[in-house]
Amino acid sequence: NAGVTQTPKFQVLKTGQSMTLQCAQDMNHNSMYWYRQDPGMGLRLIYYSASEGTTDKGEVPNGYNVSRLNKREFSLRLESAAPSQTSVYFCASSEQGPGWYFGPGTRLTVL
């Protein structure tokens, strides 16, 4: 039982490049989330998916798109990366009960 896994762990992009962050969970959770973490600002919700086939915007969705590929996988795409998107990105999943489980994070730098 690996919990929540994320790939890649680190990534450096140039402004304007695109990339997809991958997330998968093996806990059979219905809900999945993407957060970004910036110094002094805590965790901010980008997008979430309450169940397979649905996605909704969070606090800071601009510049991002998501895909809930199946129950296990929830990807985050940056179509045209900007330096303001330099951050640590966390994927999380949850089910009714003990709250959210977070992945180890992806550290993204946009030059």
Partner 1 sequence: GENVEQHPSTLSVQEGDSAVIKCTYSDSASNYFPWYKQELGKGPQLIIDIRSNVGEKKDQRIAVTLNKTAKHFSLHITETQPEDSAVYFCAASKTSYDKVIFGPGTSLSVIP
Residues that bind partner 1 (CB under 8 A): 4, 30-31, 33, 35, 40-45, 48, 50, 56, 58-59, 90, 92, 94-105
Strand pairing report for 74-78 and 64-68: antiparallel
Where do the H-state alpha helices sit in 15-75?
none
Comparing CB distances to partner 1, the nearer of 63 and 104 is: 104
Q: How many other C-beta atoms can be found within 10 angstroms of the C-beta atom of residue 36?
A: 23
Q: Taking the complex as a whole, how short is the minimal distance between the CB of residue 85 and partner 1, in angstroms?
A: 19
Q: How far is the CB of 84 from partner 1 (least distance, A)?
A: 19
Cβ closer to partner 1: 47 or 85?
47
CB of 49 or CB of 85, closer to partner 1: 49
Residue 14 or residue 39: which is nearer to partner 1 going by CB? 39
Interatomic CA distance for residues 91 and 96, integer angstroms: 17
The dihedral over CA atoms of 29, 33, 38, 43, expressed in degrees to the nearest 10, equals -70
Q: Using alpha carbons only, how large is the chain's radius of gyration in Å?
A: 13
Q: Minimum distance between the CB of residue 10 and partner 1, rounded to whole angstroms?
A: 11
Amino acid at 22: Q
Residue 63 CB, nearest approach to partner 1 (Å)? 19
Q: Token pair of 19, please?
A: 């990339």
